[in-house]
Structure 1
Amino acid sequence: MRVGVLVPVHGFAPYLPETLDAILGQRSSAALEVVVVDDGSSLPIVLHPDHADRVRLVRRDAAGGPAAARAAGLAALDDGVAAVALCDADDTWLPGSVARAVDALDAEPAAGWAFGGAVVVGPGGRPTGEAWATLSPGRHAAGTFAARLYTANPIPTSSVVLRRSALDAAGGFAGPVRVAEDWELWLRLCAAGQDAVCVGAPAVRYRRHPGGLTADVARLAAAQLIVHELHADVVGLQVAAGIVADDHAALAAGLARAGDHAGASAAWAQVAAARPLQRGERLRRAALRVPLVRGRLGRTDPYRG
Structure 2
Amino acid sequence: MSNPRVSVVIPVFNGAEDLPGAIESALNQRDCETEVIVVNDGSTDGTRDVIDRYGNRIIAIHQKNLGAAGLSRTRNNGVAASSGEWIAFLDHDDLWEPDKLASQLKAAQRTSADIVYTNARNFGDVSRVSDIRSDPTAMPEGDLFEALLMDNFIVMSSTMMKRSLFDRIQGFTESPVLAEDWDLWLKAAAAGSKFAAVSEPVTMYRWRPGSFSKNHVRMRNLRLLALQRALDSDRGQQVSWSVRRKALANAERCSAWFLASSSPRQAISWYARSLIYWPFDVNCWKGVVKGCVGRS
Q: TM-score range by the shorter chain?
A: 0.7 to 0.9
Please state whether the residue corresponding to 2:47 is helix, strand or coil: coil
Determine whether 1:141 maps to 2:146. Answer: no
Q: Please name the residue that 2:71 is paired with.
A: 66
Give the equivalent residue in structure 2 for 1:167: 166
CA distance in 2, matches of 1:6, 1:250: 28
Q: CA deviation at 1:231?
A: 2.0
Aligned length: 281
Q: Take 2:257 and 2:116, find their aligned partners in 1: how far apart are those partners? A: 33
RMSD: 3.4
Task: Give matches, 1:114-193, under 5 Å.
Answer: 114-122=116-124, 129-134=130-135, 140-142=141-143, 145-174=144-173, 180-193=179-192
When residues 136 and 146 of structure 1 are mapped into structure 2, their CA distance, relative to the original with a 3 A threshold, is farther
Q: Could you tell me how far apart the structure 1 residues matched to 2:105 and 2:196 are?
A: 10
Amino acid at match of 1:182: D
- In the TM superposition, residue 39 of structure 1 has moved relative to its aligned partner by 2.4
Alpha-carbon distance in 2 for matches of 1:134, 1:176? 34
Asked whether the equivalents of residues 179 and 219 of structure 1 are also in contact (C-alpha less than 8 Å), the reply is: no
8 Å Cα contact 1:111-1:139 kept in structure 2: no
What's the offset of the Cα at 1:88?
Answer: 0.7
Normalised TM-score (structure 1):
0.77
Hey, what does 1:89 align to over in structure 2?
Answer: 92
- 1:209 is matched with 208
Q: Match for residue 291 of structure 2?
A: 284
> What CA distance in whole angstroms lies between the structure 2 residues aligned with 1:271 and 1:122?
31
Q: What's the CA shift for 1:169?
A: 2.0
Deviations 1:230-250 (A, max 9, x none): 223264333322332343344
Cα contact 1:216–1:254 (8 A) shared by 2: no
Q: Which amino acid aligns with 1:228?
A: L
Q: Partner letter of residue 140 of structure 1?
A: E
Q: Structure 1 stretches of 5 or more lacking a match?
A: 288-292, 295-305
Q: How does 1:260-299 map onto structure 2 within 5 Å?
A: 267=270, 270-271=273-274, 273-276=276-279, 278-282=285-289, 284=291, 293=295
- The answer to whether the aligner puts 1:24 opposite 2:27 as a matched pair is yes
Runs of 4+ aligned structure 1 residues displaced above 6 Å come to none
Are residues 1:112 and 2:114 paired?
Answer: yes
- Post-superposition offset of 1:163: 1.0
Counterpart CA distance in 2 for 1:258 and 1:270 is 19
Distance 1:22 1:11 in 2: 19
Distance 2:77 2:260 in 1: 36
